[in-house]
């Protein structure tokens, strides 16, 4: 999160283009825009992986494992 905030502040300052910012973070320009929008809407919580804490839809039912 700290690295994202640093790159975002450099982008806001005009030091980096959106493509350069994405490359520094190891993502595409489009993904950088998504992260930027989520960060502006929800702050640090917007950067967290939304899949954490959710069960997989491909998970095998417990009854099938017991058999």
**CA–CA separation, 29 vs 8, rounded Å?**
12
The whole-number pLDDT of residue 57 equals 82
The whole-number pLDDT of residue 59 equals 84
The predicted-structure confidence for 4-59, as pLDDT tens digits, reads as follows: 889 988 998 888 898 999 999 899 999 999 989 988 888 887 777 777 778 888 88
Going 22 to 18 to 36 to 11, the CA torsion angle's sign is: positive
Which residues make Cβ contacts (< 8 Å) with residue 3, sequence separation at least 6? 24, 25
**CA–CA separation, 19 vs 11, rounded Å?**
10
Boundaries of every domain in the chain: 1-47
The whole-number pLDDT of residue 19 equals 93
The whole-number pLDDT of residue 30 equals 93
């Amino acid at each position: 999160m700290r690295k994202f905030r640093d790159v975002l502040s450099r982008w806001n300052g005009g030091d980096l283009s959106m493509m350069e910012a994405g490359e520094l973070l190891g993502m595409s320009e489009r993904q950088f825009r998504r992260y930027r929008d989520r960060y502006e809407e929800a702050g640090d919580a917007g950067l967290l992986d939304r899949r954490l804490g959710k069960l997989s839809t491909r998970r095998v039912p417990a009854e099938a494992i017991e058999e």
